Structure 1
Amino acid sequence: MPPLSILLKPASSGCNLRCAYCFYADEASVRAAPNYGLMSKEVSHTLIDKAVGAAEGSVTFLFQGGEPTLAGLEFYRDFVAHVQDTFPRGLTAQYAIQTNGTLLDEEWCRFFREHRFLVGLSLDGNRACHDRFRRDGAGKGTYDQVLRAARLLDRAGVEYNVLTVVTGYLAKHIQSVFAALCKGGFRFQQYIPCLDPLEAERGGESYSLSPKEYEEFLKNLFDLWFRELEQGRYWSVRYFDNLVWMLRGHAPEQCSMRGCCSLQYLVEADGSVYPCDFYGLDQYRLGNILEHAWDELDQTREEIGFIAESRHVPERCKGCQWYLLCRNGCRRDRVPGLEGRSYYCQAYAGFFAYALPRLRRAGSMIGL
């Protein structure tokens, strides 16, 4: 059996913020059960026990939300303790958590450091962009709280990166956003385009990102990134790192750049299992970890054709010079009206034509 990667929702869709563009809140709102509450020990221990028999070498546990810290620090202490009691010699566990950072304190950070959690911190660059869409239940911005969390992580020596959601507004202000992140010392940066609500026409939200805006964003961010690189300062931008890696003949590590969906497990708080974080919907439910074995979950995934559907290559993509870099993007961004092509098809094409020579040079400059 290969290494295993499991995404957990220990607090389900529960969150202490009300970010305007939250895709999981949108998903949860159309399920029969919008929120499954907090994950019980029965679910977490069963998940860990079943992982032992299904993985070889390592298991990666990735905690997301909602806001996963709402499960409480004791949940994580118990989780790690059960892993340590259960995993045999030769099977290792790796941990990652994506958090809005507002509930972190020194105790949380010491725990992350002790157990080598990789932390993803949600931060939309600068105050104006962040507070525009990332607000708490009272409608107040959370920028200061997230910066406080970053400094706590720094002092504790926790490895972390920042995740920035690209909205139409942020795309227009990428110069100040990138400057703020670099000034803040955030060496590891990830930018992901926002998602419009399920079944909604693209571009109708206050935060929506158009293909043209995304193209200009990629070009402008790349110019800023490459200029820093030429001056001997390397900032890891995950998307650019993956492109450089691909141009040197390697497979991308980022799921959305592989061309088809991979074998993943999203485990909700009640034990329900889904094939992907973007498809935590009733119609994609594979089963429940309390009731089903991994091979049964895999069989259901095959029966509903989840991965097979993602392998479809539109006719226009087959002859496209950029397909080996684009691979038609993430399934969630593919639009039926475009013959199943990515909503950002033209954005990628324009960006690759603009940046390819420098992307090739970047590989030797950063040693990827």
Structure 2
Amino acid sequence: MKQLNLLIKPASSLCNMRCHYCFYADEAANRAESNLGVMSEETAEQLIRLAFAAVSGNECVNFSFQGGEPTLTGLDFFRSFVRAAKKLRPQGVNVQFTIQTNGFRIDSDWADFFAANRFLVGVSLDGDKDLHNTFRVDASGSGTYPRVLKSLQLLTARNVDVNLLCVVTNLCARHPQRVYRALKKTGVRFLQFIPCLDPLEQPRGTAKFSLTPEDYGAFLCALFDEWYRDWEQGTYVSVRTFDDYVHLAMGRPCGTCATSGRCGTYLVVEGDGSLFPCDFYCVDQWKLGNLHDLESLDEVLGSQKEQCFLNESKEKPVECAECPWRSMCWGGCKRDWYTDEAGAACNYYCAAYRRFFAWTMPRLERIARAELARSRQLRR
């Protein structure tokens, strides 16, 4: 095991915002218990001990915090967690801390803490003020853009490593250049774009924020044009999905499960210690167990239910078999698969990806060749 990735939800589904498209609020509502509690120091220490026991020297543990909104656990919890991790860390094992936050309560104390402990901080920001405020609102229904932007400025002023996460709704998809330029304007150069998820019990494409395959395909193509223009001009902007596709074009592995075509790159740890195989599958059906019942993480990583979950992701949608872009797409994220009337698995966004690769592949290959040449040059 080269790296153990743990996605921790210390505040479970609790959140101080009411984003209209929140997939985790939807998942939580579909569990017997919607909120699994705020993580205790006892649960945190059990997690840390089991994590370090699962790796050996020169390997890495990535403690990644998400929600809900993880900062609702309080700064004292994070201080305690980091202290325990530093105290219990075995010789030679590397530790990374990351957090994905809505930025709503970040103040100077949080920013100082993240800087001092070298956290990578992901901040959710859906483009400019009007785009962001349409779906990302607080508990009273008011827009959150000014407060999030202020938090972002606190973080960057302290040289905290920051990336921006934009959820691609139907509205964002219709304004790709506007979204990309607004995010670049913040000064952050590491961007992620993820398609919004429809509610579990609702037909695809029927929510007010729903992203259709047609809109997503158009968005990806236009976003790539903007990104590629920056690359040609020598301006580096990391768009994680595009970076992954460049790596695949180079014949190298990529960093996300959705683009690598395989599940199982991390474990989700809920507030009470419950374990799940994926952030998109934190429902009762896929609960793997609880930290407090384990002597080793191998008990869940090697369990029949975990293997069943992983094996499902190996059975690709039927249209993948003859697809010319198979080695770039690998079927996409399993959460986007559905069963058609004939009983065959299909990817909801298949048409979007086919359109994207047909539009961009020569340029992806050009970037891949340039990166390979640069790598050879650096080795000399």
| TM-score (structure 2 length as normaliser) | 0.94
Q: Following the alignment from structure 1 to structure 2, what is the Cα–Cα distance between the partners of residues 344 and 354?
A: 16
What residue identity is the alignment partner of 2:354? A
Identity %: 47
- Residue 333 (str. 1) matches residue 336 (str. 2): yes
Counterparts in 2 of 1:134-153, with a 5 A limit? Answer: 134-153=136-155
Counterparts in 2 of 1:210-229, with a 5 A limit? Answer: 210-229=212-231
Structure-1 residue corresponding to 2:11 = 11
Deviations 1:203-238 (A, max 9, x none): 000100000000000111011111122222121111
What residue identity is the alignment partner of 2:366? R
Q: CA deviation at 1:365?
A: 5.0
Counterparts in 2 of 1:156-167, with a 5 A limit? Answer: 156-167=158-169
**Contact 1:188/1:235, CA 8 A, preserved across alignment:** yes
Match of 1:295 among 294, 298, 305: 298
Q: Following the alignment from structure 1 to structure 2, what is the Cα–Cα distance between the partners of residues 59 and 11?
A: 21
Q: Following the alignment from structure 1 to structure 2, what is the Cα–Cα distance between the partners of residues 100 and 268?
A: 18
Structure-1 residue corresponding to 2:94 = 92
| Equivalences, count | 368
SS of the aligned residue for 1:305 comes to: helix
Unaligned runs of 5+ in 2: 376-380
Match of 1:154 among 150, 153, 156: 156
Deviations 1:68-93 (A, max 9, x none): 00000000100010111111211121
**Contact 2:169/2:211, CA 8 A, preserved across alignment:** yes
- Residue 267 (str. 1) matches residue 272 (str. 2): no
**Contact 1:203/1:209, CA 8 A, preserved across alignment:** yes
- Residue 359 (str. 1) matches residue 361 (str. 2): no
SS of the aligned residue for 2:292 comes to: coil
Q: CA deviation at 1:304?
A: 6.3
Q: Following the alignment from structure 2 to structure 1, what is the Cα–Cα distance between the partners of residues 292 and 191?
A: 36
SS of the aligned residue for 2:178 comes to: helix
Structure-1 residue corresponding to 2:378 = none
Deviations 1:93-146 (A, max 9, x none): 100000000110111111111111100000001111100000000000000111
Counterparts in 2 of 1:1-40, with a 5 A limit? Answer: 1-40=1-40
Q: CA deviation at 1:3?
A: 2.3
What residue identity is the alignment partner of 1:345? C
CA RMSD of superposed structures (Å): 1.4
What residue identity is the alignment partner of 2:67? G
SS of the aligned residue for 2:340 comes to: helix
Q: CA deviation at 1:263?
A: 4.2
SS of the aligned residue for 1:270 comes to: coil
Q: Following the alignment from structure 1 to structure 2, what is the Cα–Cα distance between the partners of residues 316 and 276?
A: 24
| TM-score (structure 1 length as normaliser) | 0.97
Deviations 1:312-332 (A, max 9, x none): 023321111101111110010
